[in-house]
Structure 1
């Protein structure tokens, strides 16, 4: 964690720690029933702000504030509804990666991260092209997306040649652990992310 003298350039972001890693561009469904998170959703609705999702390193999703991982992803609320009993449901999608420099807790137990945003392409399809040694991963992703159908619209060729996009979508689909997804989230270089995926696939 950074010292107080180095956090002046950080931005505060409410955190929603989970036992799941949210990835850039990936969808995630949430059930919200604790008061602190209901307040958070209301705040996002009033102000247009977003919140961050981090993997829980220690603790639980409900009850006392959990210990979040140092890296997470900004969540954009795309839709919401209610279940019988009044439980709020959210459909969110991952956006920018961030690093948590320090955390604080509000009176209601909600964690707030003081974060720095990580570098990354601003739009899908604008990342670096796949290296020749990773071309097979773009082909694999195209085949997987056809098989899983309905996950998202069929990507165009430009996306299947984008190292950032291919890496995140494979991390979303492949049966890897949450700890492995967190390792990818901490990696700034999209080519190294793809290399990690190749190694893990060879180990299976």
Structure 2
């Protein structure tokens, strides 16, 4: 009998949010609660990331919220002080993960033991989803100028295409979480294609 070793768990601070962060995506946050200022200090000092999870119950501020089990590692790429003195950070989405167990520290910061998911292998966009590439180009032109310089090869990658569409299309957060949790890039594109008619003007 072959016993497959479980991947080792990684302990990370968790940041429950009312939005979904996708691999390769960008997150901009304004930090003011002491527990999250501590989180930023910890990540900056050690060069580590934190976990972003969609809030299932509760709010971003106040009492610790109940987060979804599947989230995305965020790594801080820039930070600055806003005019009102609050700390602003920019973070980039990395690997997805699954929370195996979590606990709340005395300061209210949520920490989790998580299993990191491997990145999706590069997969060319099936020809039946070519329209989605055109739609993403238009969305980026109007809504996401930071992606305008993305290489053409990115649009040909089913995983990148699906994650960017899931970011930019007006999906509700439950639908975005569903797109994050899917393992098959082609299935993600198929589900996004099937949702599109909802956004077409009559």
What TM-score, normalized by structure 2, do the two folds share? 0.89
- 1:180 correspondence with 2:179: no
- Secondary structure of the corresponding residue to residue 175 of structure 1: coil
Residue in 1 that maps onto 2:110: 111
Deviations 1:48-95 (A, max 9, x none): 111011000001111111000011111111111112443111111111
Distance in structure 2 (CA, Å) of the matches to 1:147 and 1:84: 27
Deviations 1:113-161 (A, max 9, x none): 111111224xxxx610111221221222223323446232333221111
**Which range is displaced more, 155-164 or 67-76?**
155-164
Q: Answer yes or no: is the 8 Å Cα contact 2:12–2:111 preserved in 1.
A: yes
Distance in structure 2 (CA, Å) of the matches to 1:54 and 1:143: 28
1:103-142 equivalences under 5 Å are 103-121=102-120, 127-142=122-137
Distance in structure 2 (CA, Å) of the matches to 1:39 and 1:191: 39
Give the superposition deviation at 1:194: 0.7
1:1-204 equivalences under 5 Å are 9-121=8-120, 127-148=122-143, 150-204=145-199
Give the superposition deviation at 1:44: 0.9
Distance in structure 1 (CA, Å) of the matches to 2:57 and 2:160: 30
Distance in structure 1 (CA, Å) of the matches to 2:142 and 2:16: 31
* Count of matched residue positions in the alignment of Structure 1 and Structure 2: 195
- Unaligned runs of 5+ residues in structure 2 are none
Cα separation, partners in 2 of 1:8 and 1:142, compared to 1, 3 Å: closer
Write out the 4+ residue segments of structure 1 that deviate beyond 4 Å after TM superposition: none
Q: Answer yes or no: is the 8 Å Cα contact 2:141–2:148 preserved in 1.
A: no
Distance in structure 1 (CA, Å) of the matches to 2:188 and 2:31: 32
What TM-score, normalized by structure 1, do the two folds share? 0.89
- Secondary structure of the corresponding residue to residue 68 of structure 2: strand
Q: Answer yes or no: is the 8 Å Cα contact 1:24–1:96 preserved in 2.
A: yes
- Secondary structure of the corresponding residue to residue 119 of structure 1: coil
